[in-house]
Amino acid sequence: MTVRQLKHRGSALWLAAMVHRISGLALAIFLPLHFLVLGLAIEGEARFENFLRWTDRPLVKFAEVALVFLFTVHLLGGLRVLLIENLDWRDGQKQLATLAAAVSAMVAFAFLVRVF
Amino acid sequence: MHSELSVSLWRGGEDGRYKTYSVPQCESQTVLDVVTFVQRHIDPTLSYRFACRVGVCGSCAMTVNGKPRWTCRTHVAKVAQGGRLEIGPLENLPVIKDLATDMRPFFEKWQEAKGAFAPTKTRHDAIAQIRPGTPERMAADAAIECINCGICYSACDTVRWNGDYLGPAALTRAWTLVNDARDGGNIARLQAISGSGGCHACHSHQSCQQLCPQALNPTAAIAGLKRRTVAAYFSGEITA
Amino acid sequence: MNVRLYVWQRATAAIMAPLVVVHIAVIFYATRQGLLAADVLSRTRGSIAWAAFYGLFVAAVSIHASIGLRNVLHEWSPLGERRAGACAIVFGLLLAALGIRAVVAVVLP
């Protein structure tokens, strides 16, 4: 069967759900690494200090900015789901979803400014 | 307006292909008119479904340029991009032939979700007094006009990804019955929609709500079911 | 997904919402140019409050992420529901183990 595109997939709410899912996956992959790195402190401050110096690189800083974005967007997307599922239905969700993405971008940008 | 439309129609079964036909464009033409033209004047072997032609039965639902729609209520002028149309059978259902799908899985899931009224009275009892303004009756009325066209089922990503998922229509019907004061089958119904393919699999993508021609809102109905099942789970009425 | 997994996933999500906000604040406060390990560890070593905060966070995220992973595997991979569930449990245990080790690492005096 040829691939039949489903055009509604481009809608804002579908995108919001997809961003939520992908950000969750990315965070799930990142977390064990994050825990491993923090665990370096168990071997003493020097080990942890070495790692922190490694993270001073620009490429790592950019990755951290992306992580902050993913973290914030996943939080806001999750709040959106909790609102839909537990409160009465409200319209204007497309605008809320877009706002969530914008706020996440702003938070990530603020982080970018802070670390560079 | 182009004088001729280039129309690609799905021909064959699951492993068929699109075939392109040339159809004259007319004023106020609907997609159903286009399909009918092909069958009557070009290729009588084309299989498709329709009944009322006026947007009350839901039989003519097909995938039009990527979206599931009622073809009798879809004006060609609104959807034909550059004089081109691509029409296929509804997604997420087995293809019988060409534009006709096997709706049985859709209706079987309706039954699995306990979408049937479970009576508690007999003809010898007084008629139940149902006030139309109660929140429960209003919730049921807002969700009851489903005519089983299958558009929501066809649009739903979770249906595509999860073979067990009962789907927006079946769950919306369950919601109307959960809100029906006369119905006596709620424990079994809430249990039926709390398993692997139940309401909790819904990710609130809301394609169903956006595409339903009856302006129903399965996402909201399913959110209501999530609340009811969680309450029933905590009170011990249903089990995981 | 079923009602039990749904309850656990949504409950841990709700618990974590305020924890995430605090953690983002911590990230902003803690990261700047020239951050030293000593700066971070001097605040966390011997702190019951941080131990409790991040201990709760680790417990919640281990449950939440593993259920989320289970859903994604079930819907997007050829693994059946049982295998997806097994992978999810393994992942959850891994997160919990590494997470507790990390909390201990920064909190132990």
Q: What is the pLDDT of residue B181?
A: 93
Whether residue B82 sits in one domain with residue B176 = no
Vertex B150 angle, CA B149 and B151, to 5° = 95
Chain C closest-CA separation from residue B155 CA (Å): 16
Q: Which residue has the higher pLDDT, C40 or B215?
A: B215
In the predicted model, is pLDDT for residue A115 greater than 90?
A: no
Nearest chain A residue to C108, by CA? A42
Chain B contact set for C6 (CB, 8 A):
200, 226, 230
Regarding pTM above 0.90, the answer is yes
CATH code (residue B127): 1.10.1060.10
How many domains are contained in chain A? 1
- Residue positions counted in chain B: 240
B53: left (phi over 0), alpha (psi -120 to 50) or beta: left
The answer to whether position B113 is within a domain reads: yes
Instruction: Report whether C87 contacts C70 (CB < 8 A).
Output: yes
Q: Which residue has the higher pLDDT, C36 or C1?
A: C1
Q: State pLDDT tens for residues B14-46.
A: 999 999 999 999 999 999 999 999 999 999 999
Whether residue B220 sits in one domain with residue B143 = yes
Q: What is the pLDDT of residue B3?
A: 87
Q: State pLDDT tens for residues B87-140.
A: 999 999 999 999 999 999 999 999 999 999 999 999 999 999 999 999 999 999
Domain boundary among B85, B101, B117: B101
Location of structure tokens 């280039």: B6
Distances (CA, A) of C92 to A79, C52, C68, C103: 22, 19, 10, 16
First to last CA, chain A: 51
Chain B contact set for C4 (CB, 8 A):
233, 240
CA A97 to CA A99: how far, in whole Å?
5
In the predicted model, is pLDDT for residue C20 greater than 80?
A: yes
Instruction: Report whether C81 contacts B163 (CB < 8 A).
Output: no
The answer to whether position B239 is within a domain reads: no
Please compute the mean of the pLDDT values over residues A79-108 and round it to a whole number: 91
Contact A89 B18 (CB under 8 A): no
Domain boundary among B101, B117, B148: B101
Q: What is the pLDDT of residue C33?
A: 62
The answer to whether position C98 is within a domain reads: yes
Contact B17 A2 (CB under 8 A): yes
Q: What is the pLDDT of residue A6?
A: 55
**Which residues lie across from B18 on neighbouring strands?**
B10
Q: What is the pLDDT of residue A9?
A: 66
The answer to whether position C64 is within a domain reads: yes
Range of the domain at C61: 3-9+38-107
Neighbours of chain A (3+ CB pairs under 8 A): B, C
Query: Out of C14, C32, C91, whose CB is closest to A82?
Result: C14
* Nearest CA among B179, B222, B195, B234 for reference residue A84: B222
Provide the percentage of residues in chain B whose pLDDT is more than 90.
97
Chain A closest-CA separation from residue B211 CA (Å): 9
The answer to whether position C46 is within a domain reads: yes
Whether residue B73 sits in one domain with residue B111 = no
Please compute the mean of the pLDDT values over residues C29-57 and round it to a whole number: 85
Residue B84, classified by CB atoms within 10 Å of its CB into exposed (0-12), middle (13-18) or buried (19+), is middle
The answer to whether position C97 is within a domain reads: yes
Beta carbon pairs, A and C, within 8 Å:
88
The answer to whether position C23 is within a domain reads: no
Q: What is the pLDDT of residue A79?
A: 94
Q: What is chain C's mean pLDDT, rounded?
A: 92
Whether residue B120 sits in one domain with residue B61 = no
Range of the domain at A23: 12-115
Please compute the mean of the pLDDT values over residues C64-92 and round it to a whole number: 96
Please compute the mean of the pLDDT values over residues B193-200 and round it to a whole number: 96
CA C37 to CA A49: how far, in whole Å?
5
Whether residue B221 sits in one domain with residue B155 = yes
Distance, C-alpha A86 to centroid of its chain = 23
Whether residue B97 sits in one domain with residue B111 = no
Contact C21 A75 (CB under 8 A): yes
Contact A49 C37 (CB under 8 A): yes
How many domains are contained in chain C? 1
B94 residue type, one letter:
P
Gyration radius of chain A over CA positions: 18
In the predicted model, is pLDDT for residue A14 greater than 50?
A: yes
Range of the domain at B29: 4-101
Q: Would you list the DSSP string of chain A?
A: ------GGGGSHHHHHHHHHHHHHHHHHHHHHHHHHHHHGGGG-HHHHHHHHHHTTSHHHHHHHHHHHHHHHHHHHHHHHHHHHHHS---S-HHHHHHHHHHHHHHHHHHHHHHH-
Q: What is the pLDDT of residue A51?
A: 85
CA C33 to CA C14: how far, in whole Å?
33
Residue C69, classified by CB atoms within 10 Å of its CB into exposed (0-12), middle (13-18) or buried (19+), is buried
The answer to whether position B33 is within a domain reads: yes
Q: Does B207 touch chain C (CB under 8 A)?
A: no
The answer to whether position C58 is within a domain reads: yes
CATH code (residue A52): 1.20.1300.10
Instruction: Report whether B155 contacts A9 (CB < 8 A).
Output: no
CA B178 to CA B190: how far, in whole Å?
8
Whether residue B109 sits in one domain with residue B220 = yes
Please compute the mean of the pLDDT values over residues B52-58 and round it to a whole number: 95
The answer to whether position A4 is within a domain reads: no
**Which residues lie across from B22 on neighbouring strands?**
B6
The answer to whether position A81 is within a domain reads: yes
Q: Would you list the DSSP string of B116-128?
A: S------TTSPPP
Whether residue B225 sits in one domain with residue B119 = yes
Domain boundary among B49, B71, B101: B101
Q: Does C81 touch chain B (CB under 8 A)?
A: yes
pLDDT bucket at A2, cuts 50 / 70 / 90: very low
Q: State pLDDT tens for residues A51-88.
A: 888 888 889 889 999 999 999 999 999 999 999 999 98
Most C CBs within 10 A among A21, A27, A43, A52, hence the mutation to make, goes to A52
Contact B196 C75 (CB under 8 A): no
Strand B67-70 to strand B61-64: parallel, antiparallel, or no bridges (unpaired)?
Answer: antiparallel
Please compute the mean of the pLDDT values over residues C58-77 and round it to a whole number: 97
In the predicted model, is pLDDT for residue B201 greater than 50?
A: yes
In the predicted model, is pLDDT for residue A5 greater than 60?
A: no
Distances (CA, A) of B41 to A59, B10, B19, B226: 64, 17, 15, 50
Q: Cβ of B235: how many Cβ atoms within 10 Å?
A: 8
Contact C2 B195 (CB under 8 A): yes
Whether residue B202 sits in one domain with residue B127 = yes
How many domains are contained in chain B? 2
Query: Out of A75, A85, A111, whose CB is closest to C17?
Result: A75
Neighbours of chain B (3+ CB pairs under 8 A): A, C
Q: What is chain B's mean pLDDT, rounded?
A: 95
Whether residue B132 sits in one domain with residue B65 = no
Whether residue B162 sits in one domain with residue B80 = no
The answer to whether position B44 is within a domain reads: yes
Nearest chain B residue to A93, by CA? B206
Please compute the mean of the pLDDT values over residues B190-216 and round it to a whole number: 95
Half-sphere exposure of A29 (CA within 13 A, CB side): 7
Whether residue B225 sits in one domain with residue B168 = yes
In the predicted model, is pLDDT for residue A90 greater than 90?
A: no
The answer to whether position C31 is within a domain reads: no
Contact B207 A4 (CB under 8 A): no
Contact B240 C74 (CB under 8 A): no
The answer to whether position B240 is within a domain reads: no
pLDDT bucket at B159, cuts 50 / 70 / 90: very high
